């Protein structure tokens, strides 16, 4: 009887040991997946960071500042009905005319060509007194007039630079601060005033040079 109890005791101990071993194995086997999961998470973060750091951000789309005339702008020759001269103007701009004045406009820029008879050639002094005085009463917030003698392909011209406010936009009501360049060309009793204007921050030096250098008497 004692032997039977001993065998039973050993059997119970064996079962306990077996259960402990099984639990240990189960615990040890559950460890690696957890470690593997942590490793996988770390790897995923590393890959994501590498991808974000390695891919270059797309280049921003460039656009011309307000009033800038594109570098690829094409130009066409304009000749008034009465002849006498030609000048290149930007192609595609809207055209209006009244009397001896023709205007080409596009967005915020403007080219005005005015013809008149004159008994004498304009001078720095005459433009500085007569023209400036007249424009003060016509251009809103007229300011900073500077008069000088310049040379273009057609010959000498009197240049008047100044600033002023544009007319209010009929839709938005916005007013733009404009920079003006007014060139006065003269030959044998005929004067042509070529006025170019656009926002003060626009860089239209090259386009305006193309227009003014293209002027020629015919």
- Count Cα atoms within 13 angstroms, Cβ side, for 167: 6
Q: Give residue-wise pLDDT tens across range 182-195.
A: 999 999 999 999 99
Alpha carbon distance 148, 144 (integer Å): 13
Q: How many residues does this entry show for the chain? A: 218
> Are the C-beta atoms of 218 and 79 separated by less than 8 Å?
yes
- Dig out the tokens for 142 from the structure: 């007229």
Look up the pTM and report it.
0.70
Beta bridge partners of 180: 162, 197
Q: Using DSSP, how many helices (H) and how many strands (E) does the chain show? A: 4, 10
Question: What separation, in Å, do the N-terminal and C-terminal C-alpha atoms of the chain show?
Answer: 140
The stretch 92-116 carries a mean pLDDT of: 95
> Are the C-beta atoms of 213 and 153 separated by less than 8 Å?
yes
Alpha carbon distance 144, 204 (integer Å): 19
Q: Which of 168, 196, 170, 172 is nearest to 182 (CA)?
A: 196
Beta bridge partners of 87: 78
pLDDT at 57: 58
pLDDT at 205: 95
Alpha carbon distance 192, 182 (integer Å): 10
pLDDT category of residue 1 using cuts at 50, 70 and 90: very low
**How are strands ordered across the β-sheet holding 143-152?**
94-98, 101-106, 109-117, 190-199, 177-187, 155-165, 143-152
Q: Give residue-wise pLDDT tens across range 166-218.
A: 988 888 888 999 999 999 999 999 999 999 999 999 999 999 999 999 999 99
């Amino acid at each position: 009887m004692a032997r039977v109890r001993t065998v039973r005791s050993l059997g119970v101990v064996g079962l306990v040991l077996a259960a402990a071993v099984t639990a240990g194995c189960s615990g040890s086997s559950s460890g690696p997946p957890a470690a593997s999961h942590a490793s996988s998470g770390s790897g995923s973060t590393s890959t994501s960071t590498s991808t974000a750091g390695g891919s270059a951000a797309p280049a921003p789309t460039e656009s011309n500042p307000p009033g800038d005339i594109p570098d690829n702008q094409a130009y066409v020759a304009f000749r008034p009905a009465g002849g006498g001269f030609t000048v290149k103007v930007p192609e595609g701009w809207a055209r209006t005319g009244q009397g001896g004045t023709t205007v080409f406009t596009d967005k915020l820029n403007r080219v005005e060509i005015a013809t008149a008879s004159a008994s004498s050639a304009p001078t720095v002094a005459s433009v500085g007194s007569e023209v400036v005085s007249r424009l003060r009463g016509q251009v809103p917030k007229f300011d900073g007039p500077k008069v000088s003698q310049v040379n273009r392909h057609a010959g000498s011209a009197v240049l008047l630079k100044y600033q002023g406010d544009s007319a209010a936009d009929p839709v938005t009501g916005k007013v733009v601060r404009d920079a003006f360049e007014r060139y006065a060309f003269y030959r044998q009793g005929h004067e042509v005033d070529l006025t170019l204007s656009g926002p003060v921050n626009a860089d239209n030096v090259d386009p305006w040079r193309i227009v003014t250098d293209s002027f020629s008497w015919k």
